[in-house]
Amino acid sequence: MAKNFKDDVQSRRTFAIISHPDAGKTTLTEKLLLFGGAIRDAGTVKGKKTGKFATSDWMEIEKQRGISVTSSVMQFDYNDCRVNILDTPGHQDFSEDTYRTLTAVDSAVMIIDSAKGIEEQTLKLFKVCRMRGIPIFTFINKLDRQGKSPLELLAELEEVMGIESYPMNWPIGMGKEFLGIYDRFYKRIEQFRVDEEERFVGLNEDGEIEGDHKLKQYSLYDQTLEEIMLLNEAGNEFSRERIANGELTPVFFGSALANFGVQTFLETYLQFAPAPQARESTEGKIDPLSEDFSGFIFKIQANMNPAHRDRIAFLRVCSGKFERGMTVNIPRLGKSMKLSQSTQFMADDRNTVDEAVSGDIIGLYDPGTYQIGDTLTVGKNNFQYEKLPQFTPELFVRVSAKNVMKQKSFHKGIQQLVQEGAIQLFRTVRTDDYLLGAVGQLQFEVFEHRMRNEYNAEVLMERLGSKIVRWVENEEINENLSSSRSLLVKDRYDKKVFLFENDFALRWFQEKNPDITLYNPMDDY
């Protein structure tokens, strides 16, 4: 083992950016990559629009949708840290993979559009981070535009998300009157749109500008000082420990588009974001500094090269060092295999990776062996990391084989894709119809595509729309309670589940059947 293995691991910062579409995730990512020297031109990450990622190895759906495999993990070095950013697709590309990605990170950056506040998708992703106790760093974006007041935004964080906040900096005005940010952490003001040499203005011990300065002529400056006083007196205290536990989110204000506040954010973030932490396994916690390699698979991306029908399994290294060509165990199968083909992801390329340490993400060539959640170990180690959580689906289709003669391949395909974790399967109790559940429409499209290409099975899918899903605690349940508005189905483990038409149907059902205990596993988060 190389002598600086420990430093290598501790330099890792592995995170995902969570946000609602259009809050500025792509823009911020791009600025971070520019600082890290991982890309040279702005616009590179926006493969969607520029087409720069149009390489031959996209799966068809990716081509149509413009999702880039290469941008799903981005790596760069900055200030002695090696940063791994994992993409969490939004829009129609939202899927269970998006949630699962959050199981592979050590922290999350939450971007909020200052004019919109907390939006639906951010909240969903936030809940998953919360349940995993992942530290969350908040970047409130688009300060160059008029938005909600910063105090209102902080109140929203507390009320809607139930997380306490500590503003690391504070905006001086916004929109047309945006003068800059008051940096509580570095005790300076960073001015917006001024020459580089004038950009930072130091603050004295009282937190004010010493002597004369043109900023002092603005009433916004006085207003900011008052707000800072209020924060100092009535706001939360800074606590590194509470940040690490995910109980307190440091908040930064800025503008990703104007590249304002981004560098300060990055530098502060790297100081406080955790390096890889120990993870629970069937044999207790596994130390990321332990010399034996281990990791788990959190995502499988199929058919990236239609000519080869290959799949890539995304593995998070959790301990030790990965070396190309090493032999690993897959405890679920009781099998070992040699990892000769591996891929590392860069901002604009895929490279073969020879080595990776705890915190890194690598892509493994998957001949169809892996399932999402699989642990890989070495030597005599046979432990498995905690199971990945199951996420409550929201969208449903009824599925059947188009060609009745192809039932066999249809069943085989469904069984394997469900096992792999690509989609969730339910069966209606009365008629034994097959229903598929997903958190995003993309999962159905990928399913259809893979059934056709990998299993030679054309499928018919009838949209059932969105449902509210509740598992049933009670063992015995009267099947007559099943109706079109509250459909009783079984999950793949034969657990009973109701699919409610809407919120109203759920409440009505609960009133009529107070003895039936319903639960949503994601509510525990």
Residue 84 annotated in ligand binding: no
Tell me which of 11, 95, 101, 141 binds ligand G4P, using CB under 6 A: 141
- Number of residues counted as binding ligand G4P (CB under 6 A): 17
User: Which among 21-29, 274-282, 420-428, 486-494 is the span making contact with ligand G4P, rule CB under 6 A?
Assistant: 21-29
* Chain-centroid distance, C-alpha 429: 34
Place of tokens 């500590």: 166
Q: Which residues of 233-256 are buried (b: 16+ CB within 10 A; e: fewer)?
A: eebbeeeeebbbebbbbbbbbbbb
Distance separating alpha carbons of residues 47 and 10, to the nearest angstrom: 32
DSSP states along 296-346: EEEEEEE-SSTTTT-EEEEEEEEESEEETT-EEEETTTTEEEE---EEEE-
Running DSSP on this structure, what letter comes out for residue 179?
-
Tell me which of 132, 145, 199, 411 binds ligand G4P, using CB under 6 A: 145
Tell me which of 10, 11, 19, 68 binds ligand G4P, using CB under 6 A: 19
- Give whichever of 256 and 442 is closer to ligand G4P, judged by the CB atom: 256
Output the six-digit token pair for 501. Answer: 């038409």
- Give whichever of 5 and 35 is closer to ligand G4P, judged by the CB atom: 35
Contact call for residue 27 and ligand G4P (CB under 6 A):
yes
The residue count of the chain comes to: 525
Residue 72 annotated in ligand binding: no
- Give whichever of 43 and 325 is closer to ligand G4P, judged by the CB atom: 43
**Amino acid symbol at 230:** L
Q: How far is the CB of 25 from ligand G4P (least distance, A)?
A: 3
Contact call for residue 121 and ligand G4P (CB under 6 A):
no
Return the closest-CA partner of residue 141 out of 48, 269, 260.
Answer: 260
3-state secondary structure of 220: helix
Return the closest-CA partner of residue 521 out of 386, 392, 395, 394.
Answer: 392
Contact call for residue 142 and ligand G4P (CB under 6 A):
yes
Q: How far is the CB of 513 from ligand G4P (least distance, A)?
A: 42
2 Rama class: left (phi>0) / alpha (psi -120 to 50) / beta: beta
Contact call for residue 165 and ligand G4P (CB under 6 A):
no
Contact call for residue 21 and ligand G4P (CB under 6 A):
yes
Residue 91 annotated in ligand binding: yes
Going by C-beta distance under 8 Å and a sequence separation of 6 or more, which residues neighbour residue 363? 73, 312, 313, 314, 315, 342, 343, 344, 345, 350
Distance separating alpha carbons of residues 185 and 170, to the nearest angstrom: 10
Distance separating alpha carbons of residues 299 and 312, to the nearest angstrom: 8
Tell me which of 9, 16, 23, 339 binds ligand G4P, using CB under 6 A: 23
3-state secondary structure of 347: coil
- Give whichever of 136 and 244 is closer to ligand G4P, judged by the CB atom: 136
Tell me which of 13, 14, 16, 24 binds ligand G4P, using CB under 6 A: 24
- Give whichever of 252 and 509 is closer to ligand G4P, judged by the CB atom: 252
Going by C-beta distance under 8 Å and a sequence separation of 6 or more, which residues neighbour residue 204? 210
Contact call for residue 402 and ligand G4P (CB under 6 A):
no
User: Which among 198-206, 212-220, 252-260, 306-314 is the span making contact with ligand G4P, rule CB under 6 A?
Assistant: 252-260
Output the six-digit token pair for 437. Answer: 């559940």
Contact call for residue 138 and ligand G4P (CB under 6 A):
no
Residue 155 annotated in ligand binding: no
Residue 90 annotated in ligand binding: yes
Output the six-digit token pair for 155. Answer: 């109140």
User: Which among 101-109, 141-149, 211-219, 276-284 is the span making contact with ligand G4P, rule CB under 6 A?
Assistant: 141-149
Q: How far is the CB of 27 from ligand G4P (least distance, A)?
A: 3
Going by C-beta distance under 8 Å and a sequence separation of 6 or more, which residues neighbour residue 239? 166, 248
Q: How far is the CB of 260 from ligand G4P (least distance, A)?
A: 8
Draw the binding track, 79-98, toward ligand G4P (x: CB under 6 A; -: no contact): -----------x--------
Site for ligand G4P, residues 253 to 292, rule: CB under 6 A: 255-258
Distance separating alpha carbons of residues 350 and 57, to the nearest angstrom: 10
Question: Residues within the annotated binding site for GTP?
Answer: 19-26, 87-91, 141-144
Question: Residues within the annotated binding site?
Answer: 19-26, 87-91, 141-144
Task: List interacting residues with ligand G4P (CB under 6 A).
Answer: 19, 21-27, 90, 141-142, 144-145, 255-258
